[in-house]
Structure 1
Amino acid sequence: MNKIKVPHLLGLIIAGAVIGPNGFNLMERDSGIILSGTAGLLYIMFLAGLEIDLEDFKRNRTKSLIFGFYTFAIPMLLGICAGFYLLNFSMITSVLLASMFASHTLITYPIIRKAGITGNRAVNISVGGTMVTDILALLILAVIVGLTKGEVNIFFWLRLGFSTLVFGFIVLFIFPVVGRWFLERWEDSVSQYIFVLASVFLGAFLAELAGIEGIIGAFLAGISLNRLISRTSPLMNRIEFVGNAIFIPSFLIGIGMLINYKVFFKDIETFKVAAVMITVATGAKFLAAWLTQKSFKFSVDERRIIFGLSNAQAAATLAAVVIGYNIILGTGKNGEPVRLLDENVLNGTILMILVTCTMASFSAQKGARNIALLSSGKQVSGKNV
């Protein structure tokens, strides 16, 4: 992929499609692949929190909130209209579909890391905005699941609010204290890495326990250890190496294994649903990135980075479509179950993931390369002076 100037992330996704059950069937997408893929996703979110510049994050928090609002509200509005008027879905199905468009995954973050521009303001704003839109999108998912089960009441909101506060306090205030104590007393490299890995998974577990997605816990675990792990330390080197060599590729290969090209030759309705989903999701994310660029007077390359980081649909989207597909609302005329999200949406989601990840990868790579070249040019110019 690098030889033909295609983002290497796509190579891993394509590899998964080729060797997976819908390709040459060399590997099954079994529990081992799913587990390692989940670990890879958590690892990406953890690295985003670990490497973010907290001072810049604080300075740009208002901009992150504004971008988070853009990248949540625009896909929600367009998604609801598209689902209700174009695809003739019910309102509750349209809202769930729109929440899938609103959420996104930092799947292209490794491209940004490789370019060495994780401190760029567009990256900081994108990472912060990701947390805003993903939390809101996953909250909508939790509410819709509760509505279908008849569980949304005052107790539901009190329980969710209390558990989220407790979870946030433990990860953001207790994790750093324990982390400082451990890292100061144990200098063994293996022990330190195991502690970091345990923190990632414990943060994800506590998030799930609180009723929100584990990716939020992994990101906050990264923020909690941010000041304790130097970017030039041997521990940071080990964290990056294991993530890039094992966990992140496993996640991308697992995504590729979901791709089933055969379904698109069986039912034209799948094409229609997929086309609407791809057009609305991509258009809404681009509009959010464009508005952010105009609002804060960013460059075109910074807009490319924002779009590249926010357009890729994967983790939260998969969670929503699987949960929606498994919710059975009743029985149809032929005795078949009526699902909240039908098989066409399930298959359309897989195609949407492939297309959005491809577009996001190219956009992030181009923006990151241009900004890195501009930055290195300024440094050379400064040295010459």
Structure 2
Amino acid sequence: MNFEYSPLTGFAIVMALIILLPRLMERLRLPAVLGFILTGILVGPAFFGVVEKDGPVITLLAEIGKLLFMFFVGFEIDLELFKKTRNRSMVFGFLTFIIPMVLGVALGRAFGYGWTAAILIGSIISSHTLLAYPILQRLGVVGNAAVAVTVSGTIFTDIAAMLVLAVAISIHQTGFSVRFLLIELVELAVFVPLVMFGLSKVARKAIIRYGQTPEVRVMVMLVVIVVAAEAARVIQLEGIVGAFLAGISLKRALRGKFAVEQLEVLAHSLFIPSFFLATGFLVDFAVMKQTILTQPLMVAGLLAATFGGKALAAWLTGLRFRFTRAETVTMASLSFPQMAATLASAVVGYEAFNAHGERLLDAGFVNAVVMLVIVSCVVGPILTARSAPRISGAPQVSPAAPEPITSTEAPYDAPSAGYHSHLPPPSVDQTRTPS
């Protein structure tokens, strides 16, 4: 259905739906991000056509939103917690990445996808979002060893999934060769420390020197994110990889959140919702229906590979480190939800063309991923809510243990899960490194 709307009327309709639908999803105990996607479905070409699918404004807003989302994913990674649980976290992180990865590759090949697409499918389901983390915070079990290992292991899966995405997109667009792969690895070896250490120092100095007002800080951060994204594209990586690394590096450099608080408000109110709106535009009910009817095994296989792979990884880790059954179930349920990073990777794969104009992933797979997101985001928190109370009395990590846990900082879950400090922001000078 198509109606004639003035740009301002369309904008008002979109903003109203962005306010209402995410709250409705939360009342239904569903992730608010689904409300953004539903808004995109309603205002997109599938229904009312309020917003032009390929309009330059929404395209730009969605692109910036995608970069900002991945920036905040990186910014909320707690490297200190990862260091304290490094050994156990690496085991769980490796297992919860590689098992779904292998299953995803097998699934992709079984349904006729090429090796590059199949590898990308594997990496898409190997990452996860800690959607149920607030449940653990309310129960006071974030210091439990199994919970901390799961949280820290997420860092491994996020970084590994982003790197696989980068290589897969590059191979699809330019073709595979040993020479190309070696060049790509060398470029990565230069690019990662350049962003992690070089760009972060530049940003820190710029904020200290010029960032006396919130407006300037926001502009500096936006420039840093875009520069990191464009630098990634120069070496044929996806821009979200640069934004992700920029988030990690600036967290280290700024030693606090006050410098990004204003950027966070802007991102969550305009840019990130625009990205999910654009994702909603891709949902085609005709294609979704056809996917379910013609390829029900692919949808079922995607669900089985995700849930089965994550559950097996949690069980093997629990067996190795003697976690209780409740702790093991909690680990599995925490790693089930597939959310915005999964959607972002799927959309990037869908938008990647090779020299012959062929997409890396098709619309059918993107719609299957949307179904995976819905199911996993419902099942994961429900299981966490049932299993986590049984570990409330479990012993916390002992201070005498080799890997004590002191940090309880929550990772970034989704655009709907805000994190706001109730303390007044310190002055910029307080970001200087103590001598």
Pairwise TM-score range, normalised by the shorter structure: 0.7 to 0.9
Does the CA contact (< 8 Å) of 2:66 and 2:272 recur in 1? yes
Match for residue 106 of structure 2?
81
Q: Does 1:350 align with 2:366?
A: yes
Root-mean-square deviation (Å): 3.7
Deviation at residue 164 of structure 1 after TM alignment = 1.5
Deviation at residue 313 of structure 1 after TM alignment = 2.6
Q: Which runs of 5+ in 2 are unaligned?
A: 1-24, 395-435
Looking at structure 1, the residues matched to 108 and 213 of structure 2 have their Cα atoms a distance apart, in angstroms, of: 54
Query: CA separation of 1:249/1:153 partners in 2, compared to 1, >3 Å: closer, same or farther?
Result: same
Deviates more, 1:62-71 or 1:183-192: 62-71
Q: Does 1:224 align with 2:240?
A: no
* 1:109-140 per-position Cα deviation (integer Å, ceiling 9, x unaligned): 68758987999623332133211133134324
Match for residue 332 of structure 2?
303
Tell me which amino acid in the other structure corresponds to 2:335. I
What is the correspondence of 1:198-277 to structure 2 with a 5 Å cutoff? 198-229=223-254, 231=256, 233=258, 235-265=259-289, 268-277=293-302
Does the CA contact (< 8 Å) of 2:58 and 2:274 recur in 1? yes
Looking at structure 2, the residues matched to 242 and 109 of structure 1 have their Cα atoms a distance apart, in angstroms, of: 23
* 1:207-227 per-position Cα deviation (integer Å, ceiling 9, x unaligned): 222222222211221122113
Deviates more, 1:19-28 or 1:115-124: 115-124
Looking at structure 2, the residues matched to 287 and 125 of structure 1 have their Cα atoms a distance apart, in angstroms, of: 15
Tell me which amino acid in the other structure corresponds to 1:134. M
Tell me which amino acid in the other structure corresponds to 1:143. I
Identify the match of residue 46 of structure 2 among 5, 11, 22.
Answer: 22
Looking at structure 1, the residues matched to 338 and 363 of structure 2 have their Cα atoms a distance apart, in angstroms, of: 23
What is the correspondence of 1:77-156 to structure 2 with a 5 Å cutoff? 77-84=102-109, 86-87=110-111, 89=112, 93-103=114-124, 108=129, 121=148, 122-147=150-175, 152-154=177-179, 156=180
Does the CA contact (< 8 Å) of 1:13 and 1:252 recur in 2? yes
Q: Say which SS state the counterpart of residue 103 (structure 1) adopts.
A: helix
Deviation at residue 192 of structure 1 after TM alignment = 1.3
Deviation at residue 269 of structure 1 after TM alignment = 2.9
Does the CA contact (< 8 Å) of 1:100 and 1:316 recur in 2? no
Tell me which amino acid in the other structure corresponds to 1:126. T
Q: Say which SS state the counterpart of residue 314 (structure 1) adopts.
A: helix
Aligned residues: 356
Query: CA separation of 1:245/1:309 partners in 2, compared to 1, >3 Å: closer, same or farther?
Result: same
Deviation at residue 82 of structure 1 after TM alignment = 3.1
Q: Say which SS state the counterpart of residue 252 (structure 2) adopts.
A: coil
Match for residue 164 of structure 1?
188
Structure with the higher helix share, 1 or 2:
1
Deviation at residue 256 of structure 1 after TM alignment = 1.3
Looking at structure 2, the residues matched to 293 and 215 of structure 1 have their Cα atoms a distance apart, in angstroms, of: 33
Match for residue 346 of structure 2?
317
Looking at structure 2, the residues matched to 114 and 198 of structure 1 have their Cα atoms a distance apart, in angstroms, of: 35
Tell me which amino acid in the other structure corresponds to 1:127. I
Deviation at residue 289 of structure 1 after TM alignment = 4.8
Deviation at residue 266 of structure 1 after TM alignment = 5.4
Does the CA contact (< 8 Å) of 2:100 and 2:309 recur in 1? yes
Q: Does 1:181 align with 2:205?
A: yes
Deviation at residue 261 of structure 1 after TM alignment = 0.4
Looking at structure 1, the residues matched to 98 and 393 of structure 2 have their Cα atoms a distance apart, in angstroms, of: 38
- TM-score, length-normalised on structure 2? 0.69
Looking at structure 2, the residues matched to 64 and 11 of structure 1 have their Cα atoms a distance apart, in angstroms, of: 33
Looking at structure 2, the residues matched to 208 and 6 of structure 1 have their Cα atoms a distance apart, in angstroms, of: 35
Tell me which amino acid in the other structure corresponds to 2:280. G
Looking at structure 2, the residues matched to 351 and 107 of structure 1 have their Cα atoms a distance apart, in angstroms, of: 18
Q: Does 1:191 align with 2:216?
A: yes
Identity %: 27
Looking at structure 2, the residues matched to 368 and 244 of structure 1 have their Cα atoms a distance apart, in angstroms, of: 26
Q: Which runs of 5+ in 1 are unaligned?
A: 329-336, 379-385
Tell me which amino acid in the other structure corresponds to 1:252. F
Q: Say which SS state the counterpart of residue 211 (structure 1) adopts.
A: coil
Does the CA contact (< 8 Å) of 1:74 and 1:284 recur in 2? yes
Tell me which amino acid in the other structure corresponds to 1:314. L
- TM-score, length-normalised on structure 1? 0.77
* 1:179-203 per-position Cα deviation (integer Å, ceiling 9, x unaligned): 3322222212211121112111211
